[in-house]
Structure 1
């Protein structure tokens, strides 16, 4: 059976360390009272992990949380890169489609639309704003808990809006969090290949109206907001795993440079 941590004994401790141990004991007691059952191995494991997480969160060793936006057009490889970055860092992964897609489809149906619609005024006006609102509020809940988050969504309109970017930056700064934007660069040919491979119903309109769809994309340039670029075009010189590691380093360096 896993033993619950006990405050260390030995030489007198600094006030900070002593305070941590008092708080740890209080947390342990709260969790024990909440269960209403005798301690068991699973409960002890949870208690130990909670106490350890509390200590890490309140120690100065942990850096400020960072909100990383992984942006790009549909089929550019955003989610793949976001997953890699999340795997490397352990940061929470918030993918717009995973968070909202079932609700989006039901909402579109209830509004008399196509559940796979991602291009009409109905979707853009009535549904899309709600998707982004839900995702961003979930991200801020993570930041409030001191947890960094990786967000995967197009963010095309948002990153072109200087006021939106300014509001995001200020809101993060008010929480002591940093912001990094990663644009996944992908040309039209590569996007089409990626879309064809994933064979998703929401891409049907794009493929059926390819020329009209591509005419709305500016694949040659990223957003006007400050960002890091990841090259995910077919035949790119570096694979995404290597680029994920490099992006992590650059985003931290950039954040430290503006402190």
Structure 2
């Protein structure tokens, strides 16, 4: 059976981690959160350049140097699991790569993922709900977003995933109740998991 690779995308605070963890638990997928995989070394790299370990938004050093290292690390870990036939959920924004329409094809070629089923699961949320969630969770990494809310929302709306050769599924996670069964019915899950 072919392993599934789910690119779980959406804004910070959209609830993608909650959805990803529920899916991973229910279907025994490997769950890889970019922040968990990379935050330790990312924070140290930022500090070596005099930045806060949380300073990513609007930081050119992060965007030009660190971001690609984070995603390469995440994808390498995912590849190890996919090569073992294990399905994977990647919880990461991937926004910096949305403009590359051939992104999936490039990954398939680089990693030999001809037998992998790529799925983009986009988690959407109402902007008012999103703002409240970010304020409620009170994380340092959300400060820039909240202080530059209009700019953040405009950027979020402008960032459209242009990837080709994958299945795209969108879910609205604005309410407190989320139907995991409904989402599951949309995913190609008759494949081998972890």
Tell me how far 1:213 sits from its aligned partner: 2.0
| RMSD of aligned residue pairs (Cα, Å) | 2.3
Q: Relative to 1, partners in 2 of residues 1:253 and 1:86: Cα closer, same or farther, differing over 3 Å? A: closer
- Please list every run of 5 or more consecutive structure 1 residues that lacks an aligned counterpart in the other structure: 1-62
Q: Relative to 1, partners in 2 of residues 1:94 and 1:174: Cα closer, same or farther, differing over 3 Å? A: closer
Q: Relative to 1, partners in 2 of residues 1:171 and 1:126: Cα closer, same or farther, differing over 3 Å? A: closer
1:113-152 residue pairs with structure 2 within 5 A? 113-119=51-57, 120-152=59-91
Corresponding residue to 1:186 among 105, 120, 125? 125
Q: For residues 64-83 of structure 1, what are the alpha-carbon distances to aligned partners after superposition, in whole Å with 9 as ceiling and x for unaligned?
A: 21111110111111111110
Tell me how far 1:230 sits from its aligned partner: 0.9
Tell me how far 1:168 sits from its aligned partner: 2.7
The residue aligned with 2:188 is: 252
Q: Relative to 1, partners in 2 of residues 1:174 and 1:206: Cα closer, same or farther, differing over 3 Å? A: closer
The residue aligned with 1:90 is: 28
Q: Give the TM-score of the pair, scaled to structure 2.
A: 0.86
Q: For residues 216-242 of structure 1, what are the alpha-carbon distances to aligned partners after superposition, in whole Å with 9 as ceiling and x for unaligned?
A: 1207x8523341001012x37xx32x2
Q: Relative to 1, partners in 2 of residues 1:147 and 1:169: Cα closer, same or farther, differing over 3 Å? A: same
Is 1:232 aligned with 2:183? no
From the two aligned structures, give the one with the greater strand fraction: 2
Tell me how far 1:172 sits from its aligned partner: 6.6
Tell me how far 1:169 sits from its aligned partner: 4.3
Q: For residues 35-54 of structure 1, what are the alpha-carbon distances to aligned partners after superposition, in whole Å with 9 as ceiling and x for unaligned?
A: xxxxxxxxxxxxxxxxxxxx
Give the distance between the partners of 2:23 and 2:170, measured in 1 at CA. 14
The residue aligned with 2:145 is: 206
In the comparison of the two structures, how many residue pairs are matched? 187
Which structure is richer in relative contact order (CA contacts within 8 A, separation 6 or more)? Answer: 2
Q: Is the 8 A contact 2:98 2:160 kept in 1?
A: no
From the two aligned structures, give the one with the greater helix fraction: 1
Give the distance between the partners of 2:145 and 2:14, measured in 1 at CA. 14
Is 1:69 aligned with 2:10? no
Q: Relative to 1, partners in 2 of residues 1:134 and 1:170: Cα closer, same or farther, differing over 3 Å? A: same
- Please list every run of 5 or more consecutive structure 2 residues that lacks an aligned counterpart in the other structure: none
Tell me how far 1:159 sits from its aligned partner: 3.2
The residue aligned with 1:18 is: none
